[in-house]
Structure 1
């Protein structure tokens, strides 16, 4: 405990002069040493076979294991933060990061289309936002950026062509590297990493910092004064993902408004407003929900980042052994995902030939008004330009299973249907497209078999406007009749 008290973690909260990174630098050797010592002790306790011990000894041993494991995880995380945060926050030299503001009204697998772009600069812990633009203004990559062939087969070459499509893959490190390469090709600027955030996470930040005043005259001019001058945790999502489309008809100007609001929120964050512990909590929540994602172009830093959910990786150390994934990509070419409600639930079926069987059930409902085709702007409905009737929503649904398992069948509305089958880093991938008219619902069942993992299944989902608890329902187990 004394090691953890070496650092005043609350002092790391940004303020007008930046983060105080020196205490973290000074504590790094002690944190690393303590983490190593506790990890060794934990491994030794875990190696003891409790089945051979008397209950009077095994019971306290099991409790000690649990407590030491918790301490180990905390120290490991603290040591990792101390190792990479100072350099990533520009302690030794200024850093620049490409900021992708993901728009959940038009879904991509990692959250939403990255229409608004900006550069975040960090110098000795002090944040500032520099140039901002839009993916549309950036234009297509020429030549196309090369991406992982395995993922390109699933998500097409558009991943390397358009900034709007770099995150068709749910693997954020892939999306981030592609975005970095594309940005450098188009602007000549090298960045040290990529940061992604969505409007829901911006709302979380405002829960900690308090409301932000839209003081920039350029932002007011974009909306002609019709959008709120004060953005709060309660109104920022509706403002950015719905109201902006009725008040600012030009797509490029909508993206500029997005980026401008992000700048205002980051300025509020950098000023040190709000409660430090609350800020840490909401940013942790955003990372755990994949609403805040980070990738470092520095290999040693990325090796540490990749161990945690903030990396947005779908392979590697941060992936649970029996993890499933259900990810959504908009196929409407519009902003209709604002009206879609979804649930995802894993159902453990009866084992077959000794292998686990799991069904991933995906239910979607289009809650748009019946007259959406005429009552909503064409930019929201798509106006039928990509072949989807105005008001309808088309979604490409991709489901991942654990390594070595298989997708055996897919059912839509209880009827067996064909699907596209792939592999991504040893994980089975099934893809299917669903179209919903206003008021319609659909249920897809992805049936996974030959699962060798025995851990309780978990599911990762694309962050949407809904809370993660509303979307990712607790898994349930089917009733199995034992053989006679």
Structure 2
């Protein structure tokens, strides 16, 4: 037992709490809410007693190795207490909501316990109840955050084997809990509105293909119009983006951003290219403007929309893992083949079946309709899995939402679901790629991001961002040379100094392969530097930007604190990020901590990924 070395009584209490949690999970599956609450209450009590038992040992905290064990045990128990409180609160809210739908969980599981089986009255009552339980669910979210904070405080090295072995499975369970419970409060506030309660809504879905990356998530190859009212799907229609853009050709004349004009050769800014900003609010607003403009110009029978939801195929992949393979029009889609098979069907497969080009993407609508039918047919005990997938998608910017109603949009931004480029007073780094005429080559390109800073002779801090691209593809119907216009977002006031690797154009359009220029501008409260690079199949190239950071960053270091927010580009899978930050003065603390072997000098070195936004704090 991990706690045995710190007191037998504490170990016994902790083990008892663990068994109570397992019993609570089993009772919840049977719909016994009263029994579940009692088991959770008992678990919380036992974890609290165990934590009290180790208080006398805190006198040993200054002792190097033993103190680390005491501190880790205290943090682990604190995390367990808060996680148990979060589960207990969530179960209480779930009980209230399900009583509206029919009395208790047992009455809804498993045959009749589906969203599709609920009556219109039950759906409205559930949505109304969700709007009313916000305060209770906010406590769930806060408890999970406290649990995560305590767990993250546990040292990652220097722990006794039994304690280390206890921490690993708890961390895995906490990840699941956080993914499931943390989104509950914000979902309860916004889900009724998204579902068309208390007023009907029309959503514009942007299906953004991450294998052809664009600033806010991916190329908009298709879009959907979804009408909902009181939790019921009124209509769901998907369309090829060219069914909107082509009829508007020659009828609209909006000048595109300069890189689109130069590297795509387009003269008009169409709906398909509207997501040029990495800030989803700006991208969505531009998408609505383009949509409204083209619908009016071509007199198309598309309705006005209330909101925009951007989504990448990775969300559909996760949902397919939940519901299983789906076969439509004789084609079977799985999580593993979804993107490739769908791409093949809309680019080549439709020719084999004799479909006219205008109907080539109808298979997407069939697939989406069947996926939605299966999701709404899942029993209630599977709903948390849907919530976890949606929560992960929102957290990792695979789903982003914009609403024309400022009050609703404010909530999306508060929950960090709006895909905004964040404001920050410290250092900032965001790398934004735009695949320009490279087919679906992002699927075979590996990229890494390196960021270093160093003081010059005057003490001013320089930032150097290097992006390395390796094109693992070949020339096929869906992959080719990789052409990207890359932008670096840095703190406002940063001044571009020099760069390396920029190209005038690719080897076909510029056989001499001349060096390109670097653009500099201000946008979204940031300094923005941009350049073009082309990477042939089998080739590796790097693009480097060096700039002078504003004085405020150096002033922060002089004052004893440096912060960096490294923000993820929407739609990307999690590029490797390597930091090498030379401050010219000794680092005494950092979060997250670097490898102990790197302690004691003037540099902070860390390697991670950008699956989510990453925050770093260094003290001197």
Cα shift readout 1:282-302 (whole Å, capped 9, x = no counterpart)? 222222222111111111100
CA distance in 1, matches of 2:206, 2:259: 23
Q: In 2 relative to 1, CA 82–284 (structure 1 residues): closer, same or farther, beyond 3 Å? A: closer
CA distance in 2, matches of 1:266, 1:344: 37
Q: In 2 relative to 1, CA 405–126 (structure 1 residues): closer, same or farther, beyond 3 Å? A: farther
The one of 157, 169, 176 equivalent to 2:284 is 176
Equivalent positions of 1:276-295 (< 5 A) are 276-295=383-402
Number of the residue aligned with 1:384: none
2:278 touches 2:569 (CA, 8 Å); kept in 1? no
1:172 touches 1:311 (CA, 8 Å); kept in 2? yes
Q: CA deviation at 1:419?
A: 0.5
3-state SS in 1 of match to 2:303: coil
The one of 407, 431, 439 equivalent to 1:326 is 431
3-state SS in 2 of match to 1:101: strand
Number of the residue aligned with 1:235: 337
Q: In 2 relative to 1, CA 460–182 (structure 1 residues): closer, same or farther, beyond 3 Å? A: same
Q: CA deviation at 1:437?
A: 1.5
Pair 1:205 & 2:325 matched: no
Q: CA deviation at 1:312?
A: 1.3
3-state SS in 2 of match to 1:178: helix
CA RMSD of aligned residues (A): 4.0
CA distance in 2, matches of 1:88, 1:159: 36
3-state SS in 1 of match to 2:315: helix
Q: In 2 relative to 1, CA 449–259 (structure 1 residues): closer, same or farther, beyond 3 Å? A: farther
Number of the residue aligned with 1:394: 483
1:419 touches 1:431 (CA, 8 Å); kept in 2? yes
Equivalent positions of 1:269-418 (< 5 A) are 269-272=375-378, 275-316=382-423, 321-332=426-437, 334-350=439-455, 353=458, 355-369=460-474, 372=475, 376-377=476-477, 380=478, 391-412=480-501, 418=517
1:160 touches 1:166 (CA, 8 Å); kept in 2? no
Q: CA deviation at 1:474?
A: 4.6
Q: CA deviation at 1:462?
A: 4.4
In the superposition, the TM-score normalised over structure 1's length comes to 0.72
3-state SS in 2 of match to 1:408: strand
Cα shift readout 1:87-114 (whole Å, capped 9, x = no counterpart)? 2321112211011111223221112111
Cα shift readout 1:205-259 (whole Å, capped 9, x = no counterpart)? 2223333332xxxxx2xxxx4xx42x22222122234565342357654443334
The one of 85, 99, 115 equivalent to 2:205 is 99
CA distance in 2, matches of 1:191, 1:91: 16
Q: In 2 relative to 1, CA 177–480 (structure 1 residues): closer, same or farther, beyond 3 Å? A: same
Q: CA deviation at 1:439?
A: 0.7
CA distance in 2, matches of 1:145, 1:311: 29
2:326 touches 2:367 (CA, 8 Å); kept in 1? no
1:106 touches 1:113 (CA, 8 Å); kept in 2? yes
Q: In 2 relative to 1, CA 334–8 (structure 1 residues): closer, same or farther, beyond 3 Å? A: same
Q: CA deviation at 1:409?
A: 2.3
Number of the residue aligned with 2:542: 443
Structure 2: which 5+ residue stretches go unaligned? 1-84, 102-112, 147-179, 504-513, 554-561, 587-600, 603-620
Pair 1:8 & 2:112 matched: no
Aligned residues: 412
Q: CA deviation at 1:448?
A: 3.6
The one of 518, 522, 532 equivalent to 1:423 is 522
CA distance in 1, matches of 2:579, 2:285: 33
2:490 touches 2:526 (CA, 8 Å); kept in 1? yes
3-state SS in 2 of match to 1:170: coil
Q: CA deviation at 1:365?
A: 1.6
The one of 265, 269, 283 equivalent to 2:371 is 265
Q: CA deviation at 1:280?
A: 1.8
The one of 556, 563, 566 equivalent to 1:455 is 563
3-state SS in 1 of match to 2:386: helix
Number of the residue aligned with 1:434: 533
- Structure of larger gyration radius: 2
CA distance in 1, matches of 2:388, 2:425: 22
3-state SS in 2 of match to 1:167: coil
3-state SS in 2 of match to 1:341: strand
3-state SS in 2 of match to 1:22: helix
2:397 touches 2:419 (CA, 8 Å); kept in 1? yes
3-state SS in 2 of match to 1:263: helix
3-state SS in 2 of match to 1:456: strand
Cα shift readout 1:288-336 (whole Å, capped 9, x = no counterpart)? 22211111111110011123442111145xx695432111112226333
CA distance in 1, matches of 2:419, 2:460: 29
Q: In 2 relative to 1, CA 104–419 (structure 1 residues): closer, same or farther, beyond 3 Å? A: same
Q: When you count helix as a share of all residues, which structure comes out higher?
A: 2
The one of 195, 199, 212 equivalent to 1:89 is 195
1:116 touches 1:259 (CA, 8 Å); kept in 2? no
Q: In 2 relative to 1, CA 344–267 (structure 1 residues): closer, same or farther, beyond 3 Å? A: farther
Q: CA deviation at 1:79?
A: 5.4
Q: In 2 relative to 1, CA 300–144 (structure 1 residues): closer, same or farther, beyond 3 Å? A: farther
2:254 touches 2:269 (CA, 8 Å); kept in 1? no
3-state SS in 2 of match to 1:109: coil
Structure 1: which 5+ residue stretches go unaligned? 43-73, 215-219, 382-390
2:211 touches 2:441 (CA, 8 Å); kept in 1? yes
Q: CA deviation at 1:189?
A: 1.4
CA distance in 1, matches of 2:259, 2:473: 29
Cα shift readout 1:52-99 (whole Å, capped 9, x = no counterpart)? xxxxxxxxxxxxxxxxxxxxxx99976554443322321112211011
CA distance in 2, matches of 1:7, 1:137: 45
Number of the residue aligned with 1:385: none
1:323 touches 1:460 (CA, 8 Å); kept in 2? no
